[in-house]
């Protein structure tokens, strides 16, 4: 609404008491939904004073309506479902610690504890220090490296893809989680077709852990 239109609207409110009352009621209803009712109440006079007999209150009410409507439109545009990646991504929680006593064993355990405590940057640095061979299980190492990259803010999806593809390059017990997180990594990287391929693979193999989630996500893509 331009300045001239707003001025004309204010004059109508000043001249038409019924319109002013309707707008006041509308403004209060909208404000309740937006938690702004408290702010609008400052425009109300004491009960003994007729609110709409004073032009200043009418003008204030019209301005309040414009502001409230603008806020409402802004919030409506800003709302919506979060990205699919954010809806489905959860850090892998099937961690297992090595019980060795060597220096690299203890370092790997420390890295996983950092991961478990959501200290992903610290965990990633420790994992790099350990290295895949010294971790005791190369596929597991790449799985955690990939998921940890996805857990960062913002996610390092391309690095995660590289790590998770390495898990799938050989037969191992981490194929299903690797494929699930690889699908999410491709989704985060805006490669929807690649994400679909890995979700379909999880469905075809009837993955016990990811069948339901893979089916639901695929239907949304």
Is residue 204 within 8 Å of residue 176, measured between CB atoms?
no
| pLDDT at 194 (0 to 100) | 95
| C-beta atoms surrounding 100 within 10 Å | 12
C-alpha of 78 from chain center: 13
pLDDT band at 210 (very low <50, low <70, confident <90, very high): very high
pLDDT at 7 over 60: yes
Over range 99-117, report the average pLDDT.
83
- Over the stretch 118-175, which tens digit does the pLDDT of each residue have? 999 999 999 999 998 887 889 999 999 999 999 998 889 899 999 999 999 999 999 9
**CB-based contacts of 19: which residues, under 8 Å, 6+ apart?**
12, 13
Rounded (10°) angle between helices 157-167 and 138-151:
160
């Amino acid at each position: 609404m331009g300045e001239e239109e707003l001025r004309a609207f204010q004059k109508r409110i000043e001249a038409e008491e019924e319109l002013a009352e309707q707008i006041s009621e509308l403004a209060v209803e909208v404000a309740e939904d937006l938690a702004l009712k408290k702010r609008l109440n400052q425009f109300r006079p004491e009960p003994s004073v007729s609110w709409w007999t004073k032009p200043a209150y009418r003008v204030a009410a019209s301005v309040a309506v414009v502001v409230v409507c603008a806020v409402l439109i802004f919030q409506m545009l800003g709302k919506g479902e979060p990205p699919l990646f954010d809806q489905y991504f959860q850090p892998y929680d099937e961690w297992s610690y090595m019980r060795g006593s060597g220096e690299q064993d203890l370092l790997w355990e420390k890295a996983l504890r950092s991961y478990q405590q959501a200290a992903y940057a610290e965990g990633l640095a420790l994992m790099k220090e350990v290295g895949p061979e010294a971790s005791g299980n190369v596929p597991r190492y790449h799985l955690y490296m990939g998921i940890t990259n996805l857990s960062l803010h913002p996610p390092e999806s391309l690095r995660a893809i590289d790590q998770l593809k390495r898990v799938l390059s050989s037969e191992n017990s981490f194929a299903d989680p690797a494929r699930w997180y690889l699908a999410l990594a491709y989704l985060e990287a805006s490669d929807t077709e690649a994400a679909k391929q890995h979700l379909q693979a999880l469905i075809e193999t009837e993955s016990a852990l990811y069948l339901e989630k893979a089916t639901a996500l695929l239907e949304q893509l």
